[in-house]
Chain A
Amino acid sequence: MTITDISHRKMFPARGNVYLPHMVVINKIIDEAPDVRTFHFNFKDKALSEKFTFESGQFGEFSVFGHGEAPFCISSSPTRPDHLECTVKRTGRLTNALHRLSVGAEIGFRGPYGNGFPLEELKGKNLVFVAGGIGLAPLRSLIWNVLDNREDYGKLDIVYGARSPADLVYKYDLASWQKDDRFNMAVTVDRGDEKWQGTVGFVPQVLEHVAPSAQDAVAVVCGPPIMIRFTFPVLDKLGFTSEQMITTLEKRMKCGIGKCGRCNIGNIYVCRDGPVFNYQQVMDLVSSEY
């Protein structure tokens, strides 16, 4: 095994220095769920906006100057290049600082980093999207990407769940996807409230009930580790092979480019070699620290 070749990836280093952030401006903020906000942003440099491209599943390093940097996936689709989006849960110093900002604020962005979803391999396949909580963010980029090229793909299923109705993110997307007869969607919550009339139950159980066929299919799973852990056995039962299950891994990151060290699982760096892996690749890792 040698290091993964990533020379084909598009890079947009500012002034040729990979650590320098580009300035971006927040032009819309959406409250998604308690402590979860989506930020829409654009590059200050119009020329860069024109040439910037990314793949669904890639992420960026976001700066709130004075507070540092953190990685978030780009949750908008490259098929809708008008602006970029990221969805952030408030959990620590940087995310708190980000949540305090309002429209018009300037933040830093470098990227895109990581491998992204293997779009070419997904073409022609039936796709099963399985997401939990804010794990829908990277999948949302892929879902819009697929919907904007609908004819390239087969049957589509989405199983999405959150702890409570309030914790469901992208409610505006869910509403429009629910009405869309081009795919089958199941939304569930672990625990309902007085207004909730939808399904109640954990994502893996609902997935088992929906029972999508494994024939010519690929399942893309994103969510909290506990959900992922219980989802793989269900997919296995439904006949999905480990190559037919794709997920994204999450680790603490700083540099985003495989140098600062902390996101390693054995000999791979999640930021550089991932964050998207199929389940076979995950099982083949030297370490089970995922």
Chain B
Amino acid sequence: MADSKKVRKEDLAGLLTEWSRDYAVLAPSRADGVARMAAWDGEDISFLDWYRNTINPVKSLFLPPVEEMFSISRNERGHRIELPPKDDTGCLVFGVRPCDARSLILLDVVFEDAYEDPYYLDRRRRSIVVGLCCTNPCDSCFCTSVDSGPAATAGMDIMFTDIGDNLLVEGISRKGKELVAGNATLAKATRTDENRARKIRLAAEKKITRKIDTGDSKERLLAVFEDESFWQQVSAKCVSCGVCTLLCPTCYCFDINDAMTGGEGSRCRSLDSCAFSSYTKMPMENPRADKWRRVRNKLCHKYEFYPMLFDNIACTGCGRCIRLCPVNWDITQVLDSLPAKHESKI
């Protein structure tokens, strides 16, 4: 917490207004009882009181549910393809929860790999992620089991912590530190402020009671991988709706499609889901026509395949897949039910 700053709550709107001059500022906003990141309206900071997490994970800002990759127009000489107009505006997202912030570092490696994904990376490079420490986690949260936690800073540029009358402000990345360092609205935090933040964070961590043992989940999944009856049982109630993947902060699967009428149209990409059997369907066969294979792929991608490639578990414990599942499929229960390594060897 060295060099930490603070801002009085009544000055937060002023700070965001200041940042609005250089960035398009997004903040949690509520409509129809659902929280989303939306353009900040210039005054409302009431989210500090009601906001727990947004329904869409923060990935939606960088990998939108649907986006145009390029437009296509046909004329007598052939086709003309044009990229969407370039947007150079920086974007500051205020209030990102630690679980969602962490998802960005998990997604970055995928989109940076070998062939860079210009759409995702351009948005990432123009963004400032301002995190908000979790003080009131949900029952479904299990971030502390997957290398995250209510006060984790991975993926953030700056982190705010609500310490009562003030918010503690810490620069995390170089970009974030620079932004915090030169700001006159921010005052230097005292030892008392920092101690208060520490206590609040510990209390928040204690509130996360849902815990799973992920130490050897990779090995345990590998051990049951070919056990069809286990996966049949695990997947029995799944209705393949895809909500757990579409609203998962770390799921990034997408589809690419054209839409064109009268010689004008566009190529779009949209989120796709390994929960859908169409996702892998080929003309003659489908390797994952069976639901149990799709459920196995979803879970194993997060806890086995992705870790094999990039070391980390591709889950941040945000709990959306538990909160939003229409049939109460619970990833933590399934992981808990994996036979211990020594059992499966028998």
**Interface on A for B, CB 8 Å cutoff?**
1-3, 6-7, 9, 11, 13, 15-21, 23, 44, 63, 65-69, 91-92, 106, 108, 224-225, 250-252, 254-255, 257-262, 264-267, 272, 286-290
Contact = CB atoms under 8 A, between A and B. Distances in A.
Nearest to A95: B283
Contact of A262 (B110, B116, B259, B280): B280
Contacts of A252: 279-282
Given A106-B78, A258-B113, A267-B309, A66 B260 contact: yes
B287 A68 contact: no
Contacts of B226: 288
B301 interface: yes
Contacts of B260: 65-66
A68 B260 CA distance: 10
A289 B287 contact: yes
Contacts of B256: 19, 68-69, 254-255, 260
Contacts of B282: 250-252
A259 B288 contact: no
Interface residues of B, number: 53
Contacts of A257: 114-115
Given A259-B117, A261-B272, A1 B72 contact: no
Nearest to A288: B226
A11 B115 contact: yes
B257 A2 contact: no
Nearest to B285: A225
A13 B279 CA distance: 26
Given A65-B72, A65-B260, A289-B287, A262 B305 contact: no
Contact of B79 (A3, A23, A272): A23
8 smallest CB-CB distances across A and B, nearest first, come from A66-B260, A261-B253, A91-B283, A267-B305, A257-B115, A289-B287, A267-B308, A106-B78
A108 B309 contact: no
A259 B280 contact: no
Given A19-B69, A267-B305, A251 B280 contact: yes
Interface of B: 69-70, 72, 74, 78-79, 81, 83, 110-111, 113-119, 222, 225-226, 252-260, 265, 267, 272, 274, 279-285, 287-288, 293, 297, 300-301, 304-306, 308-311
B276 to A, nearest CB: 10
A179 B110 CA distance: 50
A21 B279 CA distance: 23
A65 B118 contact: no
B255 A260 contact: yes
Given A23-B78, A261-B253, 4 more contacts: A15-B83, A65-B74, A66-B72, A267-B308
B309 A1 contact: yes
Contacts of B113: 3, 258-259
Contacts of B74: 65-66
B84 to A, nearest CB: 11
Nearest to B109: A3
Given A91-B283, A261-B253, A262-B274, A286 B114 contact: no
Nearest to A68: B258
B265 A66 contact: yes
Contacts of B78: 23, 44, 106
Contacts of A106: 78-79
Given A13-B115, A289-B287, A259 B255 contact: no
A289 B288 contact: yes
Contacts of A251: 280, 282, 287
Contacts of A255: 254, 256
Nearest to A17: B118
A264 B160 CA distance: 39
Given A262-B253, A262-B279, A286-B305, A18 B272 contact: no
